[in-house]
Copies of this chain bind each other. A is one copy, B any other.
Amino acid sequence: MKKLSPKTGLSPGSLVFVGHKKTDKTAIDVMVYSPTELREFRTENPEDFFTLKDSADISWIDIKGIHNTQQIAMIGEHFQIHPLVLEDILNTRQRPKIDFYDDYIFAVLKIISWNEKKKSIETEQISLIIGPNYVISFQEKEDDIFDPLRERIRKGKGRIRNMGSDYLAYAMLDITVDNYFLVLEGIGEHMEILEERLLKNPDKKILKEIYVFKRENLLLRKAVWPLRELISQLERSDISIIKKKTRPFLRDLYDHTIQVIDTVETNRDMTAGLLELYLSTMSNKTNEVMKVLTIIATIFIPLTFIAGVYGMNFDYMPELQWPWAYFAVMGLMALLALMMLWYFRRRKWL
């Protein structure tokens, strides 16, 4: 939530970068392809790809690093993008959303990846401008999850080279959603380990882990629920950029999103269940500690009292002189202890 403050009071549409800078330089990777040809180049100057706007080929302009507001402004001007859209691209605190304009579609997504080393979630924002023959993607940092897609374009595998910019955008959405599945797998495995530990030998650290787990699930939830709405709007829209051939793919993607949501919601219930289990287990443990204390105290406190009585120094205590008194008292104590034990057994405390 931090760093939103610099924008307060500015005129709407002012271009201000909001977020943590994840890379220092910006690079622009461009892929231009038709069913038969493919051209790839990297540049730092937006003007290098300005001609692609009216090209017959499909182009994917991938901007890596969005803190260079001047560059973004140049691109926005050439591709005639609404100032509010540019403002949204620069604000990495967006909620996933889609907006339809006359000659392009604007979409904001959250890429969530599972960091295997840190065993935690990482979030990145990506914005897409989907035009009739181009897709401009704005990413926060250089390394991304789209390498398999680039490979597919290069090798001409699948149908991607024969489809339009809408299919390219779909392919990017598809990889994003597939990544959610990877995250869910990571969380799921983590959760199973947690559950096993909880059932075998619960300790205090589990509590914090459940809490972290809950927060991560919340994060995923915030990314996926709006995405469902986004894909549904994309599929149902009658904008000409989305061709009829691509719609079944979007519907399939929609089903995947529903599945992610389903798992996220189940995880939610499961976490609540884990917490309940943890709390009950801890309270059971307290109960057992109490029982041990009570058993020991209840057996020995009365016995100690008896010993105390015969430790008194009164001049006249007739029992003290009886030769068998000591043994009788010891016997009495043993009997008392046995009766206590029998009582505890009957109460199922032992």
Contact = CB atoms under 8 A, between A and B. Distances in A.
Interface of A: 1-2, 4-5, 7-14, 82, 84, 88, 93-95, 97, 99, 147-149, 152, 157-160, 171, 174-175, 178-179, 181-182, 184-185, 188-189, 199, 201, 204, 207-208, 211, 214-215, 218, 222, 248-249, 251-252, 255, 258-259, 262-263, 266, 269-270, 273, 275-287, 289-294, 296-298, 300-305, 307-317, 319-321, 323-326, 329-330, 348-349
6 contacts: A2-B188, A13-B159, A97-B255, A222-B262, A275-B276, A315-B320
B323 A157 contact: no
A196 to B, nearest CB: 12
Contacts of A304: 300-301, 304-305, 308
Contacts of A175: 8-9
Which of A281, A301, A309 gathers the greatest number of chain B CB atoms within 10 Å?
A309
A67 B182 CA distance: 22
Contacts of A188: 1-2
Nearest to A276: B275
B314 A312 contact: no
B293 A218 contact: no
Contacts of A13: 158-159
A278 B278 contact: no
A89 to B, nearest CB: 13
A279 B294 CA distance: 21
Contacts of A95: 255, 258-259, 262
A326 B308 contact: no
B282 A282 contact: no
A323 B316 CA distance: 5
A82 B245 CA distance: 12
A284 B321 contact: no
A270 B215 contact: yes
Q: Which one of A157, A201, A214 has the highest number of Cβ atoms from chain B below 10 Å of its Cβ?
A: A214
A278 B95 CA distance: 30
B282 A279 contact: no
Contacts of A204: 284
B312 A316 contact: no
A222 to B, nearest CB: 6
A311 to B, nearest CB: 4
Given A148-B8, A214-B273, A259-B95, A300 B305 contact: yes
A329 to B, nearest CB: 7
Nearest to A94: B259
A142 B318 CA distance: 82
Contact of A291 (B289, B291, B309): B289
Contacts of A218: 266, 269-270
A1 B270 CA distance: 14
